[in-house]
């Protein structure tokens, strides 16, 4: 079950990161402005369609993170301890192939994807 209060906080974080007001955010994902207002106030719960519009419009938002807070935001962010540019460069020299992306799967069914 999704914790609506926590979901709302994560949605606000996405809006703040992208420097969008609620009305601009609504326009960007293609929903009515009142929908955002009702979700942010706790009056309405987000629909699956709403969640999919957010994750489709903002590629840095992982659906697992948005719904349950699991994973990372932004999802394409590569931490220094996870992967470094030298990891990509060295692999190209060793195999003659160039790494396009690395996907890490976790035991809870979530995953993170890292792209060069």
With bands split at pLDDT 50, 70 and 90, how would you rate the model's confidence at 81? Answer: very low
Please tell me the predicted confidence (pLDDT) of residue 79. Answer: 47
Contacts of 65 (CB under 8 A, 6+ apart): 10, 71, 72, 73, 75
Give pLDDT tens digits for 10-63. 999 999 999 999 999 999 999 999 999 999 998 999 999 999 999 999 999 999
User: Is the pLDDT higher at 45 or at 107?
Assistant: 45
User: Is the pLDDT higher at 86 or at 12?
Assistant: 12
Contact 51, 67 (CB under 8 A): yes
Side-chain half-sphere exposure of 100, counting CA atoms within 13 A: 0
Domains of the chain: 1-70 (1.10.260.40), 78-116 (no CATH)
């Amino acid at each position: 079950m999704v914790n609506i209060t926590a979901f709302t906080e994560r949605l606000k974080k996405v809006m703040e990161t992208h420097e969008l007001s609620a009305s601009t955010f609504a326009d960007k994902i293609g929903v009515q402005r009142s929908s955002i207002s009702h979700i942010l106030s706790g009056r309405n719960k987000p629909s699956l369609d709403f969640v999919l519009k957010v994750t489709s419009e903002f590629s840095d938002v992982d659906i697992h993170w948005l719904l349950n807070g699991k994973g990372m935001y932004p999802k394409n962010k590569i931490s220094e301890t996870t992967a470094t540019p030298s990891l990509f460069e060295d692999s190209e020299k060793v195999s003659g192939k160039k790494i396009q992306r690395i996907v890490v799967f976790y035991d809870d069914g979530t995953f993170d994807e890292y792209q060069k």
